[in-house]
A and B are shown apart, each in its own frame.
Chain A
Amino acid sequence: MENKNQAQRLIQIQQLQFTAVELNLFLDTHPNDQHVLALYNQVHQQLIESVRAYEQVYGPLLNYGYSPALQNYWAWAENPWPWELKY
């Protein structure tokens, strides 16, 4: 199964989220760093926008109410699952 376009779109989300994870862990031990707090909020905005744009095309990225059901069927379990994606 070829999913190159989907994989490309995901890479943008993966990059933004990796930045968020790094800033999150840094803030865990440096909770008053104003510069990093501002960066974190900036990345948060970009990440949310990228996730919502991705979901319009490829279906929900998150379960349990954190992503809307935008398709006229329950697209959550549609292929491919993360370990099946061909990058």
Chain B
Amino acid sequence: MWIYEKKLQIPVRVSAPNPRLAKYVITQYGGPEGELSASLRYLNMRYSMPTNRAKGVLTDIGTEELAHMEIVATLVYKLIEGASIEAIRAADLGAHYADHDRSLYWVNAAGVPWVAAYVSATGDPIADLHENMAAEQKARAVYENLLHLSDDPLVNDTLRWLREREVVHFQRFGETLMHVQEYLDRKKIF
């Protein structure tokens, strides 16, 4: 069960419509290292975790990633809202407009639609927690790429905040990995 809170996790501002930047930022909505991938990866992985602590961490971080998906969606929405057709065409978003107008869609920066193959679940908790730690680092790297591409200081504030969350999640997954490793070692002794 999930309850919706009618607010974003943080305030999201943009300086002006900027469809070019929207085209880049949307990859954190529907790209391989994006927030949809992150939330689904963790929420799907909960069921095969051996300890309650790991189930709790995956539930809580997976839920926060849903809030981050909404933040990225709002960035894209605000960057496209009010942009002229000319600006959309000039930003190479004409192909997106042809299929979607100004609506959002789960695509990466090149317009490739999201696929479940972005997400892995092996059933091996050690492998899966390593996957999550790698995913957090990859998402951090993509936010840094976006910061290099963006010239909107308000968008940068939000991108920097999201980047920091990847670092915190990486830390929590690392602690969870150590906890699960200890649990599995104990299980072998008895």
Cross-chain contact B13 with A87 (CB below 8 angstroms): yes
User: Which chain A residues numbered 24 to 57 have a C-beta less than 8 Å away from chain B?
Assistant: 24-26, 28-31
Cross-chain contact B60 with A18 (CB below 8 angstroms): no
Query: In the bound complex, how far is the Cα of B1 from the Cα of A63, in angstroms?
Result: 12
Cross-chain contact B70 with A83 (CB below 8 angstroms): yes
User: Which chain A residues numbered 1 to 43 have a C-beta less than 8 Å away from chain B?
Assistant: 7, 10-11, 13-14, 17-18, 21-22, 24-26, 28-31
Cross-chain contact B172 with A25 (CB below 8 angstroms): yes
Known: A25-B61, A64-B3. A18 touches B172 (CB 8 A): no
Distance in angstroms from B104 CB to nearest chain A CB is 10
Cross-chain contact B57 with A14 (CB below 8 angstroms): no
Chain B, interface SS category: helix
Q: How many residues of B contact A (CB 8 A)?
A: 28
Q: Whose C-beta in chain A lies nearest to the C-beta of B61?
A: A25
Instruction: Verify if B7 is at the interface (C-beta below 8 Å from A).
Output: yes
Q: How large is the interface on A (under 10, 10 to 19, 20 to 34, 35 or more residues)?
A: 20 to 34
Instruction: Verify if A70 is at the interface (C-beta below 8 Å from B).
Output: no
Cross-chain contact B77 with A83 (CB below 8 angstroms): yes
Query: In the bound complex, how far is the Cα of B110 from the Cα of A5, in angstroms?
Result: 39
Instruction: Verify if B176 is at the interface (C-beta below 8 Å from A).
Output: yes
The number of A-B residue pairs with CB atoms under 8 Å apart is 72
User: CB-defined interface of B1-31 with A at 8 Å, one 1/0 digit per residue?
Assistant: 0011111111111000000000000000000
Instruction: Verify if B168 is at the interface (C-beta below 8 Å from A).
Output: yes
Cross-chain contact A61 with B6 (CB below 8 angstroms): yes
Instruction: Verify if B179 is at the interface (C-beta below 8 Å from A).
Output: yes
Chain B residues with CB under 8 Å of A81's CB are 6
Instruction: Verify if B151 is at the interface (C-beta below 8 Å from A).
Output: no
Cross-chain contact A83 with B74 (CB below 8 angstroms): yes
27 A-B residue pairs with CB within 8 Å: A7-B11, A10-B11, A14-B7, A14-B8, A14-B10, A18-B9, A21-B9, A21-B60, A25-B60, A25-B61, A25-B172, A26-B172, A28-B53, A29-B172, A29-B176, A30-B175, A31-B53, A61-B5, A63-B6, A66-B3, A82-B8, A82-B70, A83-B12, A83-B73, A83-B77, A87-B11, A87-B13
Known: A14-B9, A21-B60. 12 other contacts (CB 8 A): A10-B7, A14-B8, A18-B9, A25-B169, A29-B175, A29-B176, A29-B179, A62-B4, A63-B4, A81-B6, A85-B8, A87-B12
